[in-house]
Amino acid sequence: MDVTLKGKNALVTGGNRGIGAQVVHALAAAGANVAMHCRTPHEGAEAMAAELSEQYGVTVREIVGDFSDPTSITQVFEQFDTLFPQIDILVNNAGYENTYALEELPLEAWQGLLQVNLTAPFQCAQQAALRMKKSGGGVIINMQSIHDEVMRKGVSHYSVAKAGLKMLTRAAGVEWGEYGIRVVGVSPGAIETDINRDDIEKTGRDKYHAWIPAGFVGVTDDIADPIVFLCSEHARYITATTLYIDGGYSQNVVRYDERKDHAVDE
């Protein structure tokens, strides 16, 4: 099976590190032109864009916007429009997590996280869909989390946002299907990134291996490669649903008995 995205134009939000950066790399390797969104201008992102462009013979460019500001989404898409004639793929990856006891969660922290993790993806999806309707369709990938389905203490607001994004995936997939727009959620589990590595080592890699039925912690390729497939014509019948990529982690009840306040972020 040849999975190619040659000639497609993609926007990846939060594309300068972790899973987002690997998604940018994988899309470019599959032949797509990519706009790599960053919250602020980033020298490393510019270098990465230039390297991928040369390596794969595609166009990769950095675009900037702080999603804590709702008006920035329009500006991000205006930047995209100057780069490419149409958008075929949107990967809603930008987001963050912080920790609060629910009874102590400040309203501004609640609102701030929901703005970036739920409202901004909605705004991006809306902007992309308006363009995709005109061009005949496209694919929207929403980066969710296993915490859209299962809970742990300290991140209630994060789980609420990701659960909302999961329902947005379903709703948008149903509403926009008639326009040739597919919407798919991806919910990662424990993935080894620069941000997560210290936490994994502190908790104990052996414990993770025991908690995860697959027996190992995932890497960013384990998320990016399926996303390339989901964006391709081979996945044309997949929409309004969520793919859990977690090695069975979210289904292992034992881990919730053994773990207390340990933090996992994709």
Mean pLDDT in residue range 155-168: 97
Concatenated DSSP letters of 2-14: ----TT-EEEETT
Cβ(123)–Cβ(13) under 8 Å?
A: no
Cα separation, 14 vs 36, whole angstroms: 7
Percent of the chain's residues with pLDDT above 70: 95
Segment 156-160 mean pLDDT? 97
Q: What angle do CA 17, 157, 241 make, to 5 degrees?
A: 70
Q: pLDDT, tens digit, for every residue of 186-245? A: 999 999 998 788 888 988 999 999 999 999 999 999 999 999 999 999 999 999 999 999
Q: Which residues contact 244 (CB under 8 A, 6 or more apart)?
A: 146, 149, 187, 189, 250
179, burial (CB in 10 Å: exposed 0-12, middle 13-18, buried 19+):
middle
Q: Is the pLDDT of residue 250 over 70?
A: yes
Q: Which of 56, 158, 208, 249 is catalytic?
A: 158
Give, in order, the Cα–Cα distances in Å from 159 to each of 30, 106, 131.
32, 16, 30
The structural domains of the chain, ordered by start, are 9-197+217-251 (3.40.50.720)
The pLDDT tens digits for 70-100 are 999 999 999 999 999 999 999 999 999 999 9
Known catalytic residue at 244:
no
Q: pTM of the entire structure? A: 0.94
